[in-house]
């Protein structure tokens, strides 16, 4: 019954060949995949009928699949509802289908995902509907939205073994002027860190698919080997390069002052001025960013500071991170993580500032060590930091 799609393509969707064990599950999955192919080419009403003849004595099964393609549909009209605060143009630019085109179900689902990722909607449903029941060639595409809160303000208060009493206040606006632009402010304080950060995001820089992130900050930090007062900011431009992949280029500018330095390697009141470029490539296939139960996160970051970028110190740094999540049964997740980092100074610089070095140990990394003490120490037992770091957490179990 197939005319629009060739036999070879349809046969490849059923993962069975002559001589294989008979498997009803594979046949049913193959039929669903065939229907997906037809839906992606505009045949939304296509159907597949199966006829299975089993010869018990010969121990063979004959499987016939009859395709009823019916009519191919086009997009007659696009209707958008629920966008009370969001500009219509913001919604339409995330749609990868247009009026007059053949209905491609895969593009409907891809557009639904892109709209959700703007952060403007709590839920989105894109569904086709007949314009006229007597004419199956014309489909009206409904884009139904439920918008998120455009402004949020929240705070948290807690206690940590290192930070002691800690608090955090966050304000964010995620629908600035009816667009996905965001503005945010975060203030945090604990026994070892006080910080204020202002940030903004433009997801469609100059109308392109490139996202621009800007942030400025001020930080007071008390570490075991030094105290740090720093301020600065960064600007990053990034783009999704495949389904789960993202690449970005960031310029970082920081001015700091190190005081109460415990080691003789760094002079008292040293003022590092860091000017660097950072390239980051990531792939994130986790099923949930905040509470994942399956998938993987991979990230590679390369940073070049100093040199032609100026600043007081010249160094290069590469960090790679990986996290893997495995579901075990219905309510348990097995997780593992690996981090490898390397850095070194170059040019006229002969030292890396204490606040830029690698550290390990404490509540988040190697809990059996004191905070920042799982590395080189000076004669007084204060951490010096290092140029190479590798931490591996082979297993972690969480009950959902």
Least confident of 242-251, 270-279, 389-398: 389-398
Could you tell me if 155 and 168 are in contact, meaning their C-beta atoms sit under 8 angstroms apart?
A: yes
183-204 mean pLDDT: 95
SS3 call for 199: strand
Query: What mean pLDDT comes out for the span 42-54?
Result: 93
pLDDT higher than threshold 80 for residue 175: yes
Say which DSSP state 127 is in.
Answer: E
Closest alpha carbon to 141 in 199, 92, 85, 68: 92
The per-residue pLDDT for 135 is 79
Q: How confident is the model at residue 400 (pLDDT cuts 50, 70, 90)?
A: very low
- Give the length of the chain: 400
Contact 138, 131 (CB under 8 A): yes
Question: For residues 266 and 357, what is the distance between their CA atoms, to the nearest angstrom?
Answer: 13
Q: What does 83-120 look like in DSSP terms, one character per residue?
A: -SSS-HHHHHTT----TTSBP-HHHHHHHHHHHHHTTS
pLDDT of 209 > 80? The answer is yes
Given a cut of 80, whether residue 187 has pLDDT beyond it is yes
According to DSSP, the residues that pair with 155 across neighbouring strands are: 169
pLDDT-derived band at 287 (thresholds 50, 70, 90) equals confident
Q: Which residues of 228-257 are buried (b: 16+ CB within 10 A; e: fewer)?
A: bebebbbebbbeeeeeeebebebebbbebe
Question: How confident is the model over 345-353, as a mean pLDDT?
Answer: 83
Q: Distance between CA 329 and CA 395 in Å, rounded?
A: 16
Whether 170 has a pLDDT exceeding 60, the answer reads yes
**Residue with token string 């630019």:** 93
Confidence of residue 191 (pLDDT cuts 50, 70, 90): very high
What's the pLDDT tens digit per position in 93-130?
A: 899 999 999 999 999 999 998 898 888 888 899 999 88
Distance of alpha carbon 9 from alpha carbon 41, whole angstroms = 13
> ∠ CA 320-321-325 to the nearest 5 degrees?
155
pLDDT at 398 over 70: no
Q: What is the largest CA-CA distance in the chain?
A: 91
User: By three-state DSSP, how is residue 312 classified?
Assistant: coil
Query: Which residues lie below 8 Å from residue 5, measured CB to CB, with a gap of 6+?
Result: 37, 38, 41
Tokens of 381: 């037992």
Distance CA 222, CA 122 (A): 40
Angle between helices 105-117 and 24-40 (to 10 degrees): 80
3-state DSSP assignment of residue 176: helix
């Amino acid at each position: 019954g197939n005319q629009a799609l060739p036999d070879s393509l349809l046969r490849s969707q059923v993962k069975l060949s002559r001589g294989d064990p008979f498997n009803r599950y594979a046949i049913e999955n193959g039929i669903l995949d065939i229907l997906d192919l037809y839906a992606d080419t505009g045949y939304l009403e296509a159907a597949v009928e199966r006829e299975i003849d089993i010869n018990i004595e010969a121990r063979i099964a004959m499987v016939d699949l009859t395709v009823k393609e019916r009519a191919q549909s086009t997009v007659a009209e696009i209707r958008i509802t629920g966008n009370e605060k969001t500009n219509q143009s913001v919604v339409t630019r995330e749609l990868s289908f247009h009026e007059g085109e053949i209905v491609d179900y895969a593009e409907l689902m891809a557009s639904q995902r892109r709209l959700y990722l703007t952060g403007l909607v709590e839920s989105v449903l894109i569904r086709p509907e007949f314009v006229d029941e007597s004419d199956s060639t014309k489909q009206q595409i409904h884009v139904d939205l439920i918008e998120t809160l455009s402004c949020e303000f929240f705070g948290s208060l807690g206690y940590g073994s290192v930070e002691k009493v800690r608090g955090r206040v966050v304000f964010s606006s995620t629908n600035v002027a009816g667009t996905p632009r965001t503005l945010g402010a975060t203030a945090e304080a604990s026994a070892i860190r006080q910080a204020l950060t202002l940030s903004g995001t433009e997801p469609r820089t100059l109308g392109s698919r490139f996202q621009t992130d800007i942030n400025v900050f001020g930080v007071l930090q008390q570490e075991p080997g030094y105290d740090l007062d720093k301020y600065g900011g960064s600007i990053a431009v990034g783009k999704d390069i495949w389904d789960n992949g993202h690449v970005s280029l960031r310029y970082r500018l920081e001015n700091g002052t190190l005081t109460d330095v415990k080691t003789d390697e760094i002079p008292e009141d040293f003022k590092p001025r860091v000017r660097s470029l950072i390239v980051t490539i990531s792939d994130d296939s986790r099923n949930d960013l905040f509470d994942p139960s399956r998938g993987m996160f991979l990230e590679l970051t390369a940073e070049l500071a100093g040199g032609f970028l100026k600043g007081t110190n010249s160094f290069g740094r590469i960090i790679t991170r990986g996290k893997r999540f495995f579901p075990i049964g219905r309510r348990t997740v097995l997780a593992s993580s690996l981090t490898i980092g390397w850095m070194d100074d170059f040019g006229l610089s002969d030292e890396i500032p204490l606040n830029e070095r690698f550290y390990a140990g404490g509540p988040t990394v190697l809990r059996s060590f004191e905070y920042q003490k799982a590395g080189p120490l000076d004669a007084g037992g204060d951490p010096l930091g290092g140029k190479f770091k590798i931490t591996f957490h082979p297993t972690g179990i969480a009950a959902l």
